[in-house]
């Protein structure tokens, strides 16, 4: 069955979401992944937005986290204070899985979504942290979406917007952050995880038809590829739900 | 003033009274929802310049104020308009060309800063951003901060938890309070005295409203004095915070207003195209803002057919099945 890499990325992320997760969703593909999980195998997972919406019933895909579509049929419509407190609070924060994206990532999963070039005279300015830094600081697990390109998987970030494992195994503890950090990086080629001991990224699996060598060619730094497997392609029923139920207008796909 | 019985005024007058060149301003809403757009357009029409703007995640309002040349400095967490502009286009251009100065915070930090202002405390703590460049890099240099009376000397301060590790935290980040000269928000319902009822998400509007020296509320519906006294637990802002009330149907257009109308995808897409090109953007400013008298002028220009299309469906609060491609 034919599928696009964007569909594959969405479904690979969706497979990581469980019924017992509160899913923090950002704009775009991350929302779609949560919607897909909810419709495919995790109907009880809770979709949660930094704008303050909890457990929205998404009959249509929102185009921003402040889209009125996230306000419909919620458990509560609050505000930003509620949303971030829920994540900073360890009682509820540990139930949250964050989904983030960025312009650059390093081997410890630290993210840049602010500038390319010098912060004080950037060649490219991006949106900035939004809630990204807050989520990365607070939640114990997160999934990061990236495009697999050399300029995005970098030796050194131009600006560190959101903390991953900082400089290694003790990085977060030394800085005063709660435990946790990113778990997964999902790209248009592969899935990466972080080593238990070193907290460095390693290749967990490649999409069908993509070799570990190809993945490495698209990164500035090298990662361990010895654990790589082939990730199963989307199943027909997954694709059907994603296309027909989650994003029929193909607004994100 | 804040205790007056009738604060209803025109938008023109509210902007003239409360917005000065160089003043510190904040606007409510979030990316493409409930931005006080009519107020933004009036600020642009009055050719206000040198604004110091405070926002958390704002999109359309910020981008138009920057594009029109009203803003000198901005403290912001996120400049984006969802799918229509992942990064706000005029904001991006202004930062890259160095025509505005930016200070970056996170969304929670900006919200806490407004809350601190609303509470009357100098700062609040959080555990967000430890170890990142949000702490390490200051967009506003220390010398500038020290010289400007309306800015704190530091961007953020990292401190050991003075309660010796209580609550499991060794360190906290202190974020400084914001007291805007004026905040503009757009709400679904207000009465003549200024009691406000928002529907759907409130974002950080309540904190932004209560932190400000002056608060101007624009509303979809101006209701009778007694209407909001019923079920008043649904009100978020009591009149004591409010300086002016302006009745403007479609006052958040082209952004959304829950239970009233959706964002206008046609407008936002056309805006994104115009914003990428200086000549087109200037033409946009002329045709959609500067040559119009008010928000009604914009609605007339857009035409009733498009306004009809974005009308909220009463069941969901948004325009179901709207073509958003």
Reported as a pLDDT band with limits 50, 70 and 90, residue B225 is confident
Q: What is the pLDDT of residue A222?
A: 97
Same fold, B1-122+178-325 and B124-176: no
List, in sequence order, the alpha helices (H) in A18-155: 29-40, 80-88, 90-93, 132-138
- Tell whether B170 lies on the interface with A, counting CB pairs under 8 A: yes
pLDDT (0 to 100) of residue B2: 87
**Measured distance CA(A190)–CA(A172) in Å, rounded:** 26
What CATH code is assigned to B1-122+178-325?
Answer: 3.40.1080.10
| CA pair distance B238, B157, nearest whole angstrom | 33
Would you say residue B1 has pLDDT above 80?
Answer: no
Query: What's the pLDDT at A27?
Result: 84
Residue pair B176/B123 in contact (Cβ under 8 Å)? The answer is yes
In this predicted structure, the answer to whether residue B147 has a pLDDT above a threshold of 90 is yes
Residue B35 has pLDDT above 90, yes or no: yes
pLDDT tens track for B273-298: 999 999 999 999 999 999 999 999 99
Q: How far apart are CA B169 and CA A89, in angstroms?
A: 11
pLDDT category at B145 given cuts 50, 70, 90 is very high
Helix (H, G, I), strand (E, B) or coil at B112: helix
Instruction: Give domain limits for chain B.
Output: 1-122+178-325, 124-176
Quick one: fold of A5-246? Answer: Glutaconate Coenzyme A-transferase (3.40.1080)
Question: B88 falls in which pLDDT band (50, 70, 90)?
Answer: very high
- The pLDDT tens digits of the residues spanning A105-135 come to 999 999 999 999 999 999 999 999 999 999 9
Give the C-alpha separation, A226 to A247, whole Å: 36
Residues present in chain A in total: 253
> Two tokens at A8?
């594959």
Q: In which band, very low, low, confident or very high, does the pLDDT at A1 lie, cut at 50, 70 and 90?
A: confident
Interface probe with A: pick from B108, B206, B316, most Cβ of A within 10 Å: B108
Q: What is the pLDDT of residues A71-94, one digit of tens each?
A: 999 999 999 999 999 999 999 999
For domain B124-176, the question of CATH label 3.40.50.300 is answered with no
CA atoms within 13 A on the CB side of B325: 6
Contact check, Cβ <8 Å, B95/A125: yes
Q: Decide if B81 touches A, using CB distance below 8 A.
A: yes
pLDDT at A62: 94
User: Domain coordinates of chain A in residue numbers?
Assistant: 5-246
- Chain B hits for A70, Cβ within 8 Å: 201
If you average pLDDT over every residue of chain A, what do you get?
96
Residues in chain A with CB shorter than 8 Å from the CB of B33 are 64, 66-68
């Amino acid at each position: 069955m034919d599928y696009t890499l964007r569909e594959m990325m969405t479904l690979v992320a969706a497979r990581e979401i469980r019924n017992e997760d509160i899913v923090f969703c950002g704009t775009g593909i991350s929302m779609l992944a949560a919607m897909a999980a909810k419709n495919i195998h995790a109907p009880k997972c809770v979709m949660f937005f930094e704008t303050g919406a909890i457990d929205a019933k998404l009959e249509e895909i929102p185009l921003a986290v402040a889209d009125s579509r996230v306000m419909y049929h919620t458990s509560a419509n609050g505000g930003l204070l509620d949303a971030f407190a829920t994540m900073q609070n360890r009682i509820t924060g540990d139930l949250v899985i964050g989904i983030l994206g960025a312009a650059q990532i390093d081997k410890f999963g630290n993210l840049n979504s602010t500038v390319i070039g010098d912060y004080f005279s950037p060649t490219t300015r991006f949106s900035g942290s939004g809630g990204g830094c807050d989520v990365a600081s607070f939640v114990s697990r997160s999934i990061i979406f990236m495009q697999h390109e050399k300029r995005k998987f970098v030796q050194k970030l131009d600006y560190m917007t959101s903390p991953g494992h900082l400089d290694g195994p003790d990085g977060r503890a030394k800085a005063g952050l709660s435990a946790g950090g990113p778990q997964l990086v999902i790209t248009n080629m592969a899935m990466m995880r972080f080593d238990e001991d070193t907290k460095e990224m390693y290749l967990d699996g490649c999409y069908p038809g993509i070799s570990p060598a190809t993945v490495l060619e698209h990164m500035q730094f090298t990662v361990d590829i010895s654990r790589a497997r082939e990730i199963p392609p989307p199943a027909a029923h997954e694709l059907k739900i994603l296309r027909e139920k989650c994003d029929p207008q193909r607004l994100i796909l | 003033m804040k205790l007056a019985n009738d604060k209803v005024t025109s938008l023109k007058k509210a902007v003239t009274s409360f917005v000065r060149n160089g003043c510190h301003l904040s606007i409510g809403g979030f990316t493409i929802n409930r931005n006080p757009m009519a107020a933004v357009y009036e600020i642009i029409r009055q050719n206000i310049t040198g604004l110091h703007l405070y926002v958390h995640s704002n999109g359309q309002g910020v981008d138009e104020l920057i594009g029109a040349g009203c803003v000198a400095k901005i403290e912001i967490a996120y400049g984006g308009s969802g799918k229509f502009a992942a990064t706000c286009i005029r904001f991006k251009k202004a930062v890259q060309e160095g025509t505005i100065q930016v200070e970056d915070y996170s969304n929670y930090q900006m919200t806490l800063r407004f809350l601190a202002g609303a509470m009357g405390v100098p700062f609040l703590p959080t555990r967000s951003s430890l170890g990142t460049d949000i702490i390490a890099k200051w967009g506003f240099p220390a010398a500038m901060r020290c010289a400007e009376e309306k800015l704190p000397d530091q961007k953020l301060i990292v401190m050991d938890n003075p309660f010796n590790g209580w609550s499991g935290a060794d360190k906290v980040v202190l974020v400084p309070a914001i007291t805007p000269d004026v905040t503009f928000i757009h709400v679904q319902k207000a009465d003549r005295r200024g009691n406000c009822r928002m529907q759907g998400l409130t974002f950080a509007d309540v904190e932004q409203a209560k932190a400000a020296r002056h608060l101007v509320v624009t509303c979809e519906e101006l209701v009778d004095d007694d209407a909001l006294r019923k079920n008043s637990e649904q009100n978020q802002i009591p009149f004591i915070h409010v300086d002016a009330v302006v009745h403007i149907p479609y006052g958040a257009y082209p952004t959304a207003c829950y239970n009233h109308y959706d964002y206008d995808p046609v407008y936002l897409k056309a805006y994104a195209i115009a914003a990428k090109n200086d000549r087109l953007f200037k033409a946009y400013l002329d045709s959609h803002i500067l040559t119009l008298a008010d928000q009604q002028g914009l609605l007339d220009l857009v035409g009733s057919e498009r306004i009809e299309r974005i009308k909220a469906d009463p069941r969901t609060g948004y325009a179901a099945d709207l073509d958003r491609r």
